[in-house]
Structure 1
Amino acid sequence: MKHYTYDEWLQYVNDEINENSRQELEDHLYSCDQCLNHYLMAMEANESSLPILSDMSEFTDSVMAEVSKQKIVVPDTVRNLNTMLMVPSVPDTKNDTKNDAKTKMKKKPFYQQAAFHYLLAAAATILLTFTGAFQSLATYANSLESPQPQVQKKKHSVTEGVINKTFAWMDSLEKKEAVKK
């Protein structure tokens, strides 16, 4: 990557370069922090020659008026991307008024609807309620609130119970095989 010198940025700030070089420098600013620092130093050095704004709100209004006068051109690729993502897009002025209503409001997919999110939350709540997750949380919270530590019996999990029964069954099979021999 080619870096530009402070003097080149000073020429840019003073508007002493041609249009091609200007575009090249502006494009480079997006990707280089070092050159951005040189540019900012050149701006600070040239700050005294910049005009002083007497009324900032008037300046802002005039800039916004100029921006609103500009015609916004949306490339077809952006319009196609918005269609693919089901994003409401700016209606095309070339279409007739019948199609304008369709382009203004595009239907969102079901998973982006608020009702879908409410149903999903309700289903998750019911599932957690029936599996006992809330009950175990309440029991855990009560055990934290109690002033005396309680000695609890070791509770076996379902998995341990299944494993114990499996081993007992395997042992009984081994005994039967030993009896047969």
Structure 2
Amino acid sequence: MKHYSYERWQQYVKDELSEHQREELEDHLYTCDQCLEVYLEAVTANETSLPALPNNNEFTTRIMEMVPVTNKNINMVEMDSLVPDTDHNRPLYQRAGFHYLLAAAATLLLMFSGAFQSLASYAGSLEKPIMEEKKPSVTEGVINKTFAWMDSLEKKEANKK
């Protein structure tokens, strides 16, 4: 990985680089912790030459005035009253709690009526024929044919005597 020199970061801090070079250095900062430390050293060394805010409070006030607010005299208690309480304004059948209770009631009804038990036995009956239709393996087939052939040879020998 290519690292940049302290002098190069000094140029970056003093805004002495082209836009393309600045973008290259900024992209590098995202991936290199070593260069980030060198950059922070360059910023600290040039801290006095960086522009300072003449009045911090005035700056904050100007920024807050730019933020759109419909009523500037709103306090936190009034903010709570502005947020609609949507769950209490809905009819009973549209509330989340109603749906949870309905699902719980349906589950209990199906459990006690035996619907789940009959579904389980039905699923078991579907699986049983699959298990019973097990075909013999190739090895078993070869062994069975070999024994049948040997039996036929023994019968032929017995018939000759």
Do both proteins adopt the same fold according to a TM-score greater than 0.5, normalized to the shorter chain? no
Q: TM-score, normalised by structure 2?
A: 0.39
Q: Greater relative contact order: 1 or 2 (C-alpha under 8 angstroms, separation 6 or more)?
A: 2
Q: TM-score, normalised by structure 1?
A: 0.35
